[in-house]
């Protein structure tokens, strides 16, 4: 009982000091935000979208971050096998997946005998978008967003279309993993797949 009272007293003491600091922070933040809104007043600002459904649109396309450097808009299974390195935890590819890639056992998920793995778009995303669906113009799921590129890191402040890229896993690769790699093809029976 005495311990719980001591803990509660300490909690109240900390809460009161935190509450005061929080109040000061919110006042200062309001002044700072007003200032930020006043500079470059003609430039559109991002609204606070916390706790809201976010939608963005864009198109699939390649990327040229600097002179003489160009990236295609997609990757394939070849990138997996080329980067495989058992001594590096980031590139330690399971042998079963390597075998499927070497044998080109891609089933219906291949395109021109290549397995699509990832693609990039110019969608405007931010932290917390990992797992967001990527839909085509018909509303069909074509991928799952999971990252952004290094050059687009300032996107929370300003969207720059030439540099802002959303990296998505191709849904065909996700289905391939479910079906061929994980042996969970029965899950596909519960889905409406458009080929």
Tell me which fold the domain 63-190 belongs to: Thrombin, subunit H (2.40.10)
Average per-residue pLDDT in the chain?
90
pLDDT tens digits for range 81-124 = 999 999 999 999 999 999 999 999 999 999 999 999 999 999 98
Confidence of residue 43 (pLDDT cuts 50, 70, 90): confident
pTM here is 0.75
- The full set of domain ranges for the chain reads 1-45, 63-190
pLDDT tens digits for range 140-182 = 999 999 999 988 887 777 788 888 999 999 999 999 999 999 9
Q: Kindly write down the DSSP assignment for every residue of the chain, as one continuous string.
A: -HHHHHHHHHHHHHHHHHHHHHHHHHHHHHHHHHHHHHTTTTS------TTS-------B--EEEETTEEE-SEEEHHHHHHH--TTSGGG---HHHHHHHHTT--GGG-BTTB-EEEEEE-----TT-TT-EEE-TTS-EEEEEEEE-GGGGGGGT---TTT--EEEEEHHHHHHIIIIIS--GGGGGGS----
């Amino acid at each position: 009982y005495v311990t719980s009272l001591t803990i509660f007293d300490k909690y109240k003491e900390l809460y009161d000091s935190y509450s005061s600091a929080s109040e000061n922070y919110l006042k200062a933040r309001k002044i700072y935000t007003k200032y930020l809104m006043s500079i470059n007043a003609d430039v559109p600002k991002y609204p606070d979208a916390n706790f809201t459904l976010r939608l963005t649109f864009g198109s699939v396309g390649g990327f040229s971050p600097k002179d003489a450097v160009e990236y295609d808009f997609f990757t394939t299974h070849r990138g997996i096998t080329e980067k495989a390195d058992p001594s590096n935890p980031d590139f330690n590819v399971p042998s079963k997946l390597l075998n499927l890639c070497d044998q080109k056992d891609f089933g219906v998920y291949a395109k021109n005998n290549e397995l699509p793995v990832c693609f990039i778009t110019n969608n405007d995303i931010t932290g917390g978008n990992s797992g967001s669906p990527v839909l085509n113009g018909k509303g069909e799921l074509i991928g799952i967003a999971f990252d952004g590129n290094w050059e687009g890191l300032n996107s929370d402040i300003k969207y720059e279309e030439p540099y802002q890229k959303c990296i998505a896993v191709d849904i065909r690769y996700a289905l391939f993993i479910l079906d061929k790699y994980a042996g969970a093809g029965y899950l596909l029976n519960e889905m409406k797949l458009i080929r």
